[in-house]
Structure 1
Amino acid sequence: MREQHKTFQAIEVGDGGDGRWAAYARPLWREMADLLTAEGRTRRGADRVRALFRTHMPELVPVLERLTGQLDRPGAEVFLTHAALRPFSPSCTQIGGNGTLLRNYDLRPDQCEGAIISSCFLRPVIGMQDMLWGLQDGMNDAGLAVSLTWGGRSAYGRGFAILIVVRYLLETCDTVDEAVARLRSLPVAVPQNLTLVDAVKAVTVFVGPDIPPTTAPDACAANHQHLPVTDEQERALRTQERLRAIRAAGTDVAAMLKPPLYQSVDAQGSRTLYTAHYRPVEGRVTYYWPGESWPQSFNDFAPGSRTVTLGRAGGGARAARGDARVPPRR
């Protein structure tokens, strides 16, 4: 299997108003602007998504205005609402239990920003950022962690990209119960699965434009919501195989760095880009790649960059062994 390299960055951006976030975001703007939907480029569409954001995420409106001013690009406000973005479908695997959240993020390397961001927009949050301020996964200072996977269905409707939903929940909620309650009023554009963990609870919730938020049987998810999964979908995504594997392994980092949970490159170029192990009550997260790890925390966030090798499945057991304090999920 061909190896590939990818550089990940760790960046502190504060409240987004002192230029550090803009220094990161502006070089990405040209490619990001192309991800707006056709509706988002019209005046009526822009007015609609602004109203949607103000209605459903009022706490983040001052942050949206701050970041829009810092980015200072035409169309920035509409883009940053994440309510007019073309859909994307990462094929990930995740599990929560014992106060921890463990996940693999699978996508094409060129479609992932690879930015670990420490921010304080409304409160301290650390997470893997995408689309300039959305989050693929993250934790806050209250001890709540959230991550996403694609729900495996092609439904699409008016609503938010899941990345900003993860950001919103972490900025405004302290507990799993509070976050699940917030989800009931948030329109989501594409079917997605969210796994949420705090000190006492772990759940997975299915969301989408055509279903109410629905609690899954247990706190783990791959890339389906309802059974049966078609043979074609299983061949393409191996979603049931991965879900069975993570249920059997529990919160075991070493298992995430081996097949079938660690995904080699597929026909579309997707592969496992990183493993994230959140311990939100401790305020700590460790990112893993086969043979390498990068710990971060609220008390000791270390800005910098790492260039890692993708595609060496099975080489991470030694790096993962230091996380033995977290027992497998029963």
Structure 2
Amino acid sequence: MRIGKQQALEYPENANVKGIFLREQSYSDKAYLEMRSQIEEYCPGLNEELEGFAEGFGYQPNQLKFYNDAWLIPGGCSLGAISPPKMSDGKTYVLRNYDLSPDISDMRLCKVDGRYTHTGFSVSTFGRSEGLNEKGLCVVFASCGMPIGKYPGMREPVVTGLQFMVVVRAILETCKNIEEAVYAVKNMPVGTNMNLLLADANGEAALVGTYDGVKYII
């Protein structure tokens, strides 16, 4: 614990430094205890150092970002749709979990002249990862395998084409139903590997996938 406290003294007391190492909200007890027990088993002594570091800033150890960064859990964005006949209220339900941080996306309501009004989550401000437009067409996205892109850690594209964030926005702004959305994807160059789950106000749903230039519709 002494080593941890000593390391805390190496950093000035300011909000920026705290933001690098600590979070205001604690991790859940279950997640924290699981992460802590694995470290205790395979790297004994590190927990005491982390506790001392947190104490040096006046925080609890379960507020340290290190625990979350050090214990990896597999996962991926999941999509789902339930058709009207299976629901008591006769409505379509679209489900989507999000495995990335909400800090990198915000929800926007977008009204552009000559385009369908839509609401959805932004990607790089101008793109969309999912959304719902005024015609009742809903689009949700999940990467198909390793994300494609130009940043470190991402897979390089095999074909030339649009990134998912442009494809999703184009569908939301120009399509009113499944038929139009499927047609749009089939006829635009897509360079990313993705799964798009589509659902419209007519109770129709479809899964559109692209992988290295190959497109499929379910």
Give the structure-1-normalised TM-score: 0.36
Partner residue in 1 for 2:87: none
Name the SS for the 2:119 alignment partner: strand
Residue equivalent to 1:206: 209
Quick one: which of 137, 142, 145 aligns to 1:144? 137
Q: Paired residue for 1:94?
A: 79
Aligned positions of 1:143-182 closer than 5 A: 143-153=136-146, 154=155, 156=157, 157-182=159-184
Give the superposition deviation at 1:149: 0.2
Indicate if the aligned counterparts of 1:103 and 1:147 stay in contact, CA closer than 8 A.
yes
Residue number in structure 2 paired with 1:125:
118
Shift of 1:170: 0.7
Give the one of 98, 101, 107 matched to 2:100: 107
Asked if 2 retains the 8 angstrom alpha-carbon contact of 1:97 and 1:201, the reply is no
Residue type of the partner of 1:171? Answer: E
Q: How far is 1:91 from its partner?
A: 2.9
Q: Give secondary structure in 2 for the equivalent of 1:106.
A: coil
Say what the alpha-carbon RMSD is for the aligned residues.
2.3
Please tell me the residue identity of whatever aligns with 1:201.
Answer: E
**Does the residue aligned with 2:98 lie in a helix, a strand or coil?**
strand
Letter in 2 for 1:117: R
Alpha-carbon distance, 1:181 to partner:
0.8
For residue 3 of structure 1, the aligned residue among 23, 27, 30 is 27
For the 8 Å contact 1:189–1:209, the answer to whether it is kept is yes
CA gap 1:152/1:175 in 2 versus in 1, 3 angstroms: same
C-alpha distance in 2, partners of 1:160/1:123? 20
Give the AA of the match of 1:183: V
Shift of 1:97: 2.3
1:192 aligns with 2:194: yes
Larger RCO (CA under 8 A, 6+ residues apart): 1
1:266 maps to which residue?
none
Q: Is the 8 A contact 1:146 1:194 kept in 2?
A: yes
Please say which structure displays the higher CA radius of gyration: 2
Report the AA paired with residue 209 of structure 1. D
Cα distance 1:106–1:135, how it changes in 2: closer, same or farther (>3 A)?
same
- Displacement, 1:123? 2.3
Residue number in structure 2 paired with 1:23: none
For 2:109, give the aligned amino acid. S
Question: What are the ranges of 5 or more consecutive residues in structure 2 without an aligned counterpart?
Answer: 1-25, 29-74, 84-91, 147-154
**1:49-76: CA deviation from partner (whole Å, max 9, x where unpaired):** xxxxxxxxxxxxxxxxxxxxxxxxxxxx
Letter in 2 for 1:116: M
- Structure with the higher fraction of residues in strand conformation: 1
Residue identity matched to 1:91: G
Q: Which runs of 5+ in 1 are unaligned?
A: 5-89, 217-330
Superposition deviation, residue 159 in structure 1: 1.0
Does the 8 Å contact 1:96/1:203 carry over to 2?
Answer: no
What is the DSSP-based 3-state SS (H/G/I as helix, E as strand, rest coil) of the residue aligned with 1:135?
A: strand
1:1-330 matches, within 5 Å, as 3=27, 91-98=76-83, 99-108=92-101, 112-113=104-105, 115-121=106-112, 122-153=115-146, 154=155, 156=157, 157-199=159-201, 200-211=203-214, 213-216=215-218
SS across alignment from 1:107: coil
Name the CA distance, whole Å, in 2 between partners of 1:134 and 1:109: 15
Tell me the number of residue pairs that the alignment of Structure 1 and Structure 2 aligns.
Answer: 128
Q: Is the 8 A contact 1:188 1:208 kept in 2?
A: no
Query: Quick check: 2:190–2:213 contact (8 Å CA) kept in 1?
Result: no
Structure 1 residue 208 displacement after superposition: 3.2
TM-score normalised by length of structure 2: 0.54
